[in-house]
Structure 1
Amino acid sequence: MPIKDWPADERPREKLLLRGAQSLSDAELLAIFLRTGTRGKTAVDLARELLHDFNGLRALFEAEEAQFCQANGLGQAKFVQMQAVLEMSRRYLRERLKRGDVLSDPDAVRLYLLAKLRDQPAEVFACVFLDNRHRVIAFEELFFGTIDSASIYPREVVRRVMKHNAAAVIFAHNHPSGVAEPSQADERITQKLKDALALLDVRVLDHFVIGDQVVSFAERGLL
């Protein structure tokens, strides 16, 4: 049965307008993005098939262009649209992060860092530079490593802190394995950076490890 013949409160678009986007399933949200189905399949049917074939939304979002375009009902135009949607979401999170004191909206920090770092194929060490009111000055990816580790140089971190005239920082790095548990090496380098920045009277507010989840050093009592 075509979606237009479904009860109004079951059609994805109408359901979104009536109950909000959070009420929709992954398949219903994807169906709105797809707009149309294929021969013999509604957009919702096609969305369910794609989620099954890709094993979920995240894998679909991360798919390379060739893999994405080969899937039934997709193509280069949809790939371009998907990349645009993902980039808009990252920019929205960045703007939300920059609006005010990061300590008053810690979820904004987590979501932004998760969006920036979770899907990196190799380890990336990044820093959020803050002023004395804990407002964001800049975000920079500073060091890039292999699948296992990144070489982090305190002298370079100090140099970037001085360039931005930052009063505080938040560190973040990803674990490509998806396991966000801090390692002993993570703890050691965090302490070295904290000691180096203390000489400049710059506070380390937190260090987030990004995997399938986000782990906070501050919440773990590791700072």
Structure 2
Amino acid sequence: MSIRLWPEHERPREKLLRSGAMVLSDAELLAIFLRTGVQGCSAVELARRLLGEFGGLRQLLEADQDEFTSHLGLGPAKFAQLQAVLEMGRRHLEATIKRESALESPQAVRDFLKARLRHEPHEVFACLFLDTRHRVLAFEPLFYGTIDGASVYPRQVVKRALAHNAAALILSHNHPSGVAEPSQADRMLTERLKEALALVDVRILDHFIVGDGEPLSMVEYGWM
């Protein structure tokens, strides 16, 4: 049955306008994005079918173009629209953390790093470069690796810190496995980078590891 024939309080768009997006299910949010269903299938029903086929909302959002467009109801235009929505979300998070000290908005930093790194299929090592007031100067992915590791060169990290005239850094990398627990190699790398950056008076404030859940802080873990 068409969504237009549903009781008004059950329609996804009206629910969002009345109570906010957080009350909607994954299928209802996706239905608003789809706007229309296909013959014999409402937008919500199509959304539920797609979530089942992809295995969940995250897998759908992270699908490449070929995988995305191979499903009923999804084409290149929808893929382009979705990528634009995701990038707007990332830029909004980046603007949020640039407004104030990164240390005063740790959740915003976590959200930004997760949005930037969680979808990567291979390990990526990146840095948030900060000024003397710990405001964000820039975010840069510096090294790309395999599904279980990336080679990181302290000299290049120091070079980029000097290029940005940074006073401090927040390190980050993702674990494509989804398990954010730090390894002994992560701890050793962090110590090497602390020593190298200390020579040019640049501090490392934290090292976040991005997995499926909340990014893990090595400071909070007690490893820094």
TM-score range, shorter chain: over 0.9
- Equivalent residue for 1:143? 143
Tell me the TM-score normalised to structure 2 length.
0.96
Aligned partners of 1:171, 1:65: CA distance in 2, in Å? 30
Aligned partners of 1:119, 1:221: CA distance in 2, in Å? 27
Aligned partners of 1:164, 1:109: CA distance in 2, in Å? 19
Cα offset, 1:50, TM superposition = 0.5
What letter matches 1:163 in structure 2? A
- Equivalent residue for 1:36? 36
What letter matches 2:152 in structure 1? I
Q: Aligned runs of 1:94-113 on 2, under 5 Å?
A: 94-113=94-113
- Equivalent residue for 1:115? 115
Tell me the TM-score normalised to structure 1 length.
0.97
1:9 aligns with 2:9: yes
Cα offset, 1:199, TM superposition = 2.4
Q: Aligned runs of 1:51-66 on 2, under 5 Å?
A: 51-66=51-66
Aligned partners of 2:125, 2:190: CA distance in 1, in Å? 11
Q: Structure 1 regions of 5+ residues with no counterpart?
A: none
SS of the counterpart of 1:191?
Answer: helix
**Aligned pair count?**
223
Instruction: Note the alpha carbon deviations across 1:123-151, whole angstroms, 9 max, x for none.
Output: 11110000010000111111111222111
Instruction: Note the alpha carbon deviations across 1:91-120, whole angstroms, 9 max, x for none.
Output: 111111111111111111111111111111
Cα offset, 1:121, TM superposition = 1.5
What letter matches 1:215 in structure 2? L
- Equivalent residue for 1:215? 216
After alignment, is 64-73 or 179-188 more displaced?
64-73
Provide the identity percentage: 63
- Equivalent residue for 2:203? 203
Aligned partners of 1:89, 1:55: CA distance in 2, in Å? 22
SS of the counterpart of 1:74?
Answer: coil
SS of the counterpart of 1:170?
Answer: strand
SS of the counterpart of 1:146?
Answer: coil
Cα offset, 1:158, TM superposition = 1.2
Structure 1 runs of 4+ with >6 Å offset: none
What letter matches 1:37 in structure 2? G
What letter matches 2:36 in structure 1? T
Instruction: Note the alpha carbon deviations across 1:41-91, whole angstroms, 9 max, x for none.
Output: 111111011111111111111212122112111111111111111111111
Calculate the aligned-residue CA RMSD, in Å: 1.0
Aligned partners of 2:93, 2:30: CA distance in 1, in Å? 21
- Equivalent residue for 1:178? 178
- Equivalent residue for 1:23? 23
- Equivalent residue for 1:190? 190
Instruction: Note the alpha carbon deviations across 1:11-52, whole angstroms, 9 max, x for none.
Output: 001000000000100000000011111111111111011111
- Equivalent residue for 1:167? 167
SS of the counterpart of 2:171?
Answer: strand
What letter matches 1:105 in structure 2? S
What letter matches 1:175 in structure 2? H
Aligned partners of 1:46, 1:72: CA distance in 2, in Å? 8
Aligned partners of 2:64, 2:153: CA distance in 1, in Å? 33
Aligned partners of 2:164, 2:187: CA distance in 1, in Å? 25
What letter matches 2:219 in structure 1? A
SS of the counterpart of 1:140?
Answer: strand
- Equivalent residue for 1:130? 130
